[in-house]
Amino acid sequence: MPISDPEKLRIAVEHRFNYWICRECGARNPPGAEKCRRCKSKNLRPKRFKR
């Protein structure tokens, strides 16, 4: 389903930019996190991409 509301789209994009994904367990972590809050792994990747 396409997002038609530009305000919602903006919020969704900002959220995408705003967290880290754990490569071990796939948990989302807040920006600034150095390790996964679920499994304590430091194997995080940024959830960032350009539109």
- Residues that bind Zn ion in the complex, under the rule CB under 5 A: 22, 24-25, 27, 36, 38-39, 41
Min CB(38)–Zn ion separation in Å:
5
Tokens (6 digits) for 24 = 């071990």
Min CB(30)–Zn ion separation in Å:
13
Tokens (6 digits) for 44 = 């995080």
The H or E element spanning position 14 is: helix 6-17
Min CB(34)–Zn ion separation in Å:
12
Angle at 18 between CA 27 and CA 2, to 5 degrees: 90
Nearer residue to Zn ion within complex by CB, 3 or 25: 25
